[in-house]
Amino acid sequence: MQQTSGSTISAPKSSSDIVFACTNCSASFVVDSAAAGMTLNCQKCGNPTTVPHPALETAVETPAKSSELQHQLKENESQRTEITGYINQLSIQLHRWQLRLQTLKERQEKLQSELAALGGPNAK
């Protein structure tokens, strides 16, 4: 959308174009980057709307995006820490069960040897 003699002309979007919405009616427009900062009349509602500067929008989006990514990284690290804690707890519990199983095996061998010494029917 370029302003020429009070009227506007729409053109296909190129890489140097700015895509923006009317501040009054939210109609979508594409203008050449040279129009950044200009105030144009909206084709839909007729109210004046200012073409934004793409560099300013990027500058505003970058800190917001960076902040969001930092938040996601923090959340990810928190979840990793929590899961690592669960794994450590379960590893400790597994070790305890292995020790208990070893103790029970040793007890079984001791009882079987005592039974064998007595000449019991289930002696090996």
pLDDT of residue 11: 46
The tokens describing 27, both together, are 């109609």
Answer for the pair 35, 51: CB distance below 8 angstroms, yes or no.
yes
Answer for the pair 52, 39: CB distance below 8 angstroms, yes or no.
no
The tokens describing 121, both together, are 């029917």
- The percentage of residues in the chain with a pLDDT greater than 90, rounded to a whole number, is 41
User: What is the rounded distance in angstroms from the CA atom of residue 98 to the CA atom of residue 91?
Assistant: 10
User: What is the rounded distance in angstroms from the CA atom of residue 71 to the CA atom of residue 67?
Assistant: 6
Show me where the domains of the chain are located. Answer: 2-52, 54-116
- The percentage of residues in the chain with a pLDDT greater than 70, rounded to a whole number, is 78
Cut 0.85: pTM above it: no
Residue 29 burial (10 A CB sphere; 0-12, 13-18, 19+): buried
E strand or H helix that includes residue 19 = strand 17-21
pLDDT digits (tens, 9 = 90+) for 112-124: 999 999 986 665 5
pLDDT of residue 124: 53
DSSP 3-state of 39:
strand
User: What is the rounded distance in angstroms from the CA atom of residue 48 to the CA atom of residue 46?
Assistant: 7
Higher-pLDDT residue of 28, 97 = 97
Q: Using 50, 70 and 90 to split pLDDT, how confident is the model at 4? A: very low
